[in-house]
């Protein structure tokens, strides 16, 4: 078993290698998402009635998950 297997058993090392630079950019984006989340979490605890802060926190969590989404997308698009 290799490290680039998707959940369905298809191993696509070429897709993993081609997606790596984009995943590194996504890591930078996820760091921005983590900073937004760290700043926004205390604000949402202080004033839980602010819906906009909650929406920003949900977007920040999606930014944090970006590298995983990028790698899964790339490995699914490139055949072996």
Model pLDDT for residues 56-72, shown as the tens digit of each residue: 888 888 888 888 888 78
Does residue 68 sit in helix, strand or coil?
helix
pTM here is 0.64
Instruction: Pick the closest to residue 44 from 35, 33, 55 (CA basis).
Output: 55
What CA dihedral angle connects 51, 57, 59 and 62, to 10 degrees? -140
Instruction: Answer for the pair 53, 47: CB distance below 8 angstroms, yes or no.
Output: yes
Q: What is the pLDDT of residues 2-51, one digit of tens each?
A: 455 555 556 667 767 777 788 788 888 888 888 988 988 888 888 777 77
């Amino acid at each position: 078993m290799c490290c680039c297997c998707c959940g369905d058993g298809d191993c696509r090392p070429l897709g993993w290698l081609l997606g790596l630079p984009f995943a590194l950019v996504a890591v930078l984006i996820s760091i921005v998402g983590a900073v937004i989340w760290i700043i926004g979490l205390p604000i949402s605890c202080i004033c839980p009635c602010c819906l906009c802060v909650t929406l920003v926190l949900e977007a920040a969590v999606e930014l944090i998950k970006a590298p995983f989404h990028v790698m899964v997308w790339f490995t699914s698009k490139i055949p072996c």
